[in-house]
Structure 1
């Protein structure tokens, strides 16, 4: 493509991320958990940036990562789709980005959005610019950034009976055969995306979770420059707990143990608020104590859907985040609304 015909090296940072009021929020995670929080936060944040894990090595993302030597686009695609607004334009582009081919050929199970993102990366040779251009096309309410400009590789040691078994790759960590005892990055010092570090340092609030605790949330703490930014940013920090353990990597892990795992990987990290659905809390006192070890208060809100599934309701979660961001916590340690 000629220089005159191709998009510039950097497009506009986002489609429509500026809002009249509200805090500047950075959300960390990946997959369905991050998408759920973004659908809620786009309703209450002033500016919103998603910093997304790039460790996926399975499915469509894994194939594109291997064949094209690019970042796995799947979690980035899901974040972009979650930031589409509720107009006809936004819903149409959201559904197109998430659409998967079903064929007997090489396109089988590829998501359209993954192909669009990978094509722009190939054209621009710049992952951040490519994501910004997709964001502009979709008219998203926010910006999506990778946590690193290089694909991440994670591995975990799992306790299986009396043995310690090592599994490698996000797709295998997500299906861990036993309790995860240790998670690490290989190599151990991947470079952070500079724009992601800048966003964290400039934020009013940083939100971790919900999501796959080891393979989506904790991976951010294993990128040294981003972890350093999380520790030194003047932003307040919020942790959103999952509605139930995930089969595989967190099977059998209580809500309190989720916080204890986070504390093990970031013992010096200060947390201001922990958001939890009361239906997912096994013991209120122990969870409040675990939050207190971070210096955090516990905010109990019903944030799940009313259909009995373990999925977050965007409007309910948005209401919880509004309470968090506005500082209206009340008696958060002992009462659920």
Structure 2
């Protein structure tokens, strides 16, 4: 059975991989990576302030569970147990009452946090229940807020606060920051990065899912100092409200701006997104990376990665020495 087959544990690469991000981008990355590596850890942003996560965060003064839930669901295996529990985690109530739009997984995670008073312990327990093919960790011990300086359409500048607000702003993002600016990182996440063979950043919302990891000082230092090789996976299209008009090389430049000491080894991009390969090659050389072009786009024409294609691309890239 190949590395992409069900339960092909023996065929997976004997590598320790840490994937950082949040939301749908990280979920796609994890769905691909769990099929090709034996030891996988997700480090997930904790700045969401909208929807079910935002409501639970405000009511319980806890980390927003939504991105953590999505990462756990993505690590579920492809057998009946895994698919069933992934569906349970992602199930949302539809009512006219206070439970409307709450995801079952969010409630389960928060319940375990309340019982155990331990973020990592609660997430590990959910992972055991799901028989997850990897571990999920928060990037920080406390919930964070993303703030941004925005250039408005009329040329004025304004400050925007909150992940949802930053992601949906009509202006051009100039700079993002975290509040608090120096949060306590998850110790287990720092350890995982220090022991990793590979670290993978992206794909995902650039300013609200990817770059926030570089704004936690201790986490950024760990990413800069790790002996692991580093890969960045570029998005398939600019995101309205965050990266409108961004080229692939602009994504890399923005990443380097927030972590100038972090060198890269591989930049993975879908060829359909690259209009100027020479310019992207030059941007990769600035950060020390090799450009890998691979078909990783969904066949439905959406700006989402196909997890099977992504797994094939990861298998090839991660096996390089």
TM-score range for the pair, normalised by the shorter chain length: over 0.9
Instruction: Indicate yes or no: 2:302 matched with 1:324.
Output: no
Structure-to-structure mapping, 1:7-18, within 5 angstroms: none
Deviating 4+ runs (over 3 angstroms): 18-21
Q: Secondary structure at the match of 2:147?
A: strand
Structure-to-structure mapping, 1:130-279, within 5 angstroms: 130-160=122-152, 161-279=154-272
How far the C-alpha of 1:216 sits from its partner, in A, is: 0.5
- In structure 2, the residue matched to 1:12 is none
C-alpha separation between the residues in 1 aligned to 2:281 and 2:171?
27
Q: Deviations over 1:85-110 (max 9, x none)?
A: 00011000000100000000000000
Contact 2:92 2:101 in 1 (8 A): yes
How far the C-alpha of 1:250 sits from its partner, in A, is: 1.1
Q: Secondary structure at the match of 1:308?
A: coil
Q: Deviations over 1:36-95 (max 9, x none)?
A: 000000011120000000000000000000000110000000000000000011000000
C-alpha separation between the residues in 2 aligned to 1:208 and 1:236?
11
C-alpha separation between the residues in 2 aligned to 1:70 and 1:282?
43
Contact 1:158 1:181 in 2 (8 A): yes
Instruction: Indicate yes or no: 2:284 matched with 1:297.
Output: no
Give me the TM-score of the superposition, normalised by structure 1: 0.91
Equivalenced residue count is 312
C-alpha separation between the residues in 1 aligned to 2:205 and 2:301?
20
What root-mean-square deviation, in Å, do the aligned CA atoms of Structure 1 and Structure 2 show?
1.2
Contact 2:13 2:319 in 1 (8 A): no
C-alpha separation between the residues in 1 aligned to 2:96 and 2:55?
16
- In structure 2, the residue matched to 1:108 is 100
Q: Secondary structure at the match of 2:37?
A: coil
- In structure 2, the residue matched to 1:52 is 44
Q: Which runs of 5+ in 2 are unaligned?
A: 1-6
What is the aligned counterpart of 1:63 among 43, 55, 70? Answer: 55
Contact 1:28 1:207 in 2 (8 A): yes
Moved more, 94-103 or 314-323: 314-323
How far the C-alpha of 1:22 sits from its partner, in A, is: 2.4
Instruction: Indicate yes or no: 2:74 matched with 1:82.
Output: yes
C-alpha separation between the residues in 1 aligned to 2:287 and 2:169?
27
Q: Secondary structure at the match of 1:46?
A: strand
Q: Deviations over 1:170-197 (max 9, x none)?
A: 0111112211101011121001000000
How far the C-alpha of 1:21 sits from its partner, in A, is: 4.0
Q: Deviations over 1:140-173 (max 9, x none)?
A: 0000000001001110011113211111010111
How far the C-alpha of 1:282 sits from its partner, in A, is: 2.1
Contact 1:156 1:173 in 2 (8 A): yes
Contact 2:211 2:255 in 1 (8 A): yes
Structure-to-structure mapping, 1:21-40, within 5 angstroms: 21-40=13-32
C-alpha separation between the residues in 2 aligned to 1:306 and 1:21?
27
Contact 1:191 1:224 in 2 (8 A): no
C-alpha separation between the residues in 2 aligned to 1:94 and 1:208?
23
